[in-house]
Amino acid sequence: MIAKRERTELFDQFWNTEPWKAIFRRQVPLAIKLLKKHQSEVILATLRDRRCWKIHSFGANWLLAPLLTQKQREYDAQQTQATTMKMTQTSTVQKPQRITTGKKSLFSQLKETENG
């Protein structure tokens, strides 16, 4: 986010160089703290929200906390809806398949003896 604002491009292992080292070391624990509280999908949805366009740190709790709780509620509702949809997708139109054990029924045995 900061590199985007300053219009610089990040290279491989940028966190080991001096201008980024301090920033990276501060952001990692903050990100881990968020990941312990919320799902990664919820955090990404919050950061992609248009209200978070100016957030440059995971430590901006006064901005992130209300949005994270809102997105967490939406995510939980979506997950419960998905589980109920899976439970209700059983088909009542199709007949259950008969399990054949290899034994012939009495009717088929009679047909065979009749035919020869």
Tens-place pLDDT, residues 14-33: 778 887 788 888 888 888 88
Q: What is the pLDDT of residue 88?
A: 58
Which pLDDT score is estimated for 57? 82
C-alpha to C-alpha distance for 57 and 34, rounded to whole angstroms: 12
Neighbouring residues of 49: CB distance < 8 A, sequence distance ≥ 6: 67, 71
The pLDDT value recorded for residue 92 is 66
In a domain, 113, yes or no: no
Residue 33 lies in a domain: yes
| DSSP label at residue 49 | S
pLDDT at 19: 77
Residue 95 lies in a domain: no
- Domains contained in the chain, number: 1
Task: Flag residues of the chain having pLDDT under 50.
Answer: none
CA atoms within 13 A on the CB side of 105: 6
Task: Report if residue 14 sits inside a domain.
Answer: yes
Whether 112 maps to a domain, the answer reads no
Domain membership of residue 53 (yes or no) is: yes
Residue 100: inside a domain, yes or no? Answer: no
Provide the residue range defining the domain that includes 39. 2-88
The CA distance from 57 to 30, in Å, is: 9
Q: Is 103 inside a domain boundary?
A: no
